[in-house]
Amino acid sequence: MLYLTPKRRHRERVRFCTNGRNVFAAVLVPVSEVETIGSRRAARWLGDADLMRLVVAGWLLVGVAAAHADVTLLLEEPYGAFGGMTPTGHAAIYLDRVCAATPVELRRCAPGEEGVVISRYHRVGGYDWIAIPLIPYLYAVENAEYVPARVTPQQAAALRDAYRRAHLEDIVADESDGGAPHGEWIQLLGEAYDRTIYTYGMETTPAQDDELISALNSRSNRARFSLLLHNCADFSRQVIDFYYPHAVHRSLIADLGIMTPKQAAKCVLRYSRKHPDLQFTSFLIPQVPGTIARSSAVRGVLESFVRSKKYAVPLAPLAVLHPAVGAGMAYAWWCGSGFRPRQIAESHGGSPLKPGSVIAALRSDAGDAKLP
């Protein structure tokens, strides 16, 4: 029997044992942290990489697949008139081992299911959070094969409404004339038609996922959105902190204490650097080409003021007269310049993902970022 165990105590990735026919357990461990018991001679002869290839090949032969899972922050660029005024963007959480029994009730995914995106919304069915499967959330279709190569605003609206009528009418009902309703429900579906999205993922365990499912299903899910205290980034912070306590926090200076999507992403990146044993992934989901206006760069609160002419010019005299204001604006500029989502997402050398590749990247080690 072959046992793979970690050389030292740290966060486990994979541990499994097999007698050549059956696999009895599986949990992820980095190859560099693995030693073999009873076959160290084979390990020295084959080398770590070859040994792991051999083990994985045997694993696949017996029909058992490793369940790699992440909690992934989706940092989404701002768009439209509101995004121009407050370019902080949107934050959501993707969980690849958690699925939706209904849009407001979570469960563990069955084999082959693709996970769920969950976020806090404003005035959508009276709920605090809503869960949508990954592909509909990004593209408003059931399958990545149906994502259009180019999209117009009319096509995006039609795709969203078709999915709403099929799956979300209990939450987003028709207008009295039978037409599609107005409102912020459109943010539930087809987000990649309106925005470029950056992902920042860290590994999770099945036990952690089960605890989160229980916690969210058992608490009241009634609307509590507040732009200053209970926004989408606050919800993402709470979910990530549920897995990794104190990993995400507010910035009292750069964001004036308001939780922002960019601050959440910066915290996840910083936490992954402090814990290199955790598997970290990051990549870019591009906005679908077409005639819809392109999204813009995501900003923090003070950064929005100092990088926008309509705000920066009126504030310039105040910054000169009051050194504290000027120092705060300089700090916001520095913080914004030091965090470049596109550069981080592309630091592993990959190109922006096509729709059919998104699920594979989110659920595999192929998206591992080389931290700059």
* pLDDT reported for residue 354: 77
Domain boundary among 19, 41, 61: 61
Whether residue 113 is found in the same domain as residue 142: yes
**227 & 146 share domain:** yes
Domain range enclosing 14 = 2-61
Domain-located, residue 243? yes
Q: Are residues 51 and 120 in the same domain?
A: no
Say yes or no: 92 and 222 in one domain. Answer: yes
Specify whether 144 is located in the same domain as 55: no
Q: What is the pLDDT of residues 284-306, one digit of tens each?
A: 999 999 999 999 999 988 887 66
Q: Which residue has the tokens 């001679």?
A: 41
Prediction pTM value: 0.75
Q: What are phi and psi of 106, to 5 degrees?
A: -105, 160
Same domain for 145 and 36: no
Q: Among 190, 189, 186, 199, which residue's Cα sits nearest to residue 75?
A: 199
What integer pLDDT is reported at residue 51 of this predicted model?
39
Residues 23 and 104 in one domain: no
Query: Is 12 within a domain?
Result: yes
Q: Are residues 220 and 81 in the same domain?
A: yes
- Please indicate, yes or no, whether residues 88 and 39 belong to a single structural domain of this protein: no
Residue 100 lies in a domain: yes
> Residue 117: which residues within 8 A CB-CB, separation 6 or more?
74, 92, 93, 94, 131, 132, 133, 134, 137, 138
Asked whether residue 320 is assigned to any structural domain, the reply reads: no
Residues 39 and 83 in one domain: no
In this structure, is residue 206 part of a structural domain? yes
Choose the final residue of a domain: 16, 31, 61: 61
Neighbours of 83 (CB within 10 A): 21
Distance from C-alpha of 46 to C-alpha of 40, rounded to nearest angstrom: 10
Q: Count the alpha carbons within 13 Å of 358 in the hemisphere toward its beta carbon.
A: 29
In tens digits, what is the pLDDT along the chain, a chain of 372 residues? Answer: 333 333 333 344 433 343 333 333 333 444 344 343 334 443 443 444 443 343 333 333 333 333 456 899 999 999 988 787 789 999 999 999 999 999 999 999 999 899 999 999 998 999 999 999 999 999 999 999 999 999 999 999 999 999 999 999 999 999 999 999 999 999 999 999 999 999 999 999 999 999 999 999 999 999 888 888 899 999 999 999 999 999 999 998 888 899 999 999 999 999 999 999 988 888 899 999 999 999 999 998 888 766 665 555 565 566 556 676 666 666 665 565 568 888 887 775 456 777 878 877 776 544 444 444
Residue 218 and residue 89 share a domain: yes
Q: Are the beta carbons of 187 and 90 closer than 8 angstroms?
A: yes
246-256 pLDDT, tens per residue? 999 999 888 88
Q: Is the domain of 76 the same as that of 33?
A: no
Number of structural domains (the chain) is 2
311 in a domain, yes or no?
Answer: no
Which residue among 43, 61, 79 closes a domain? 61
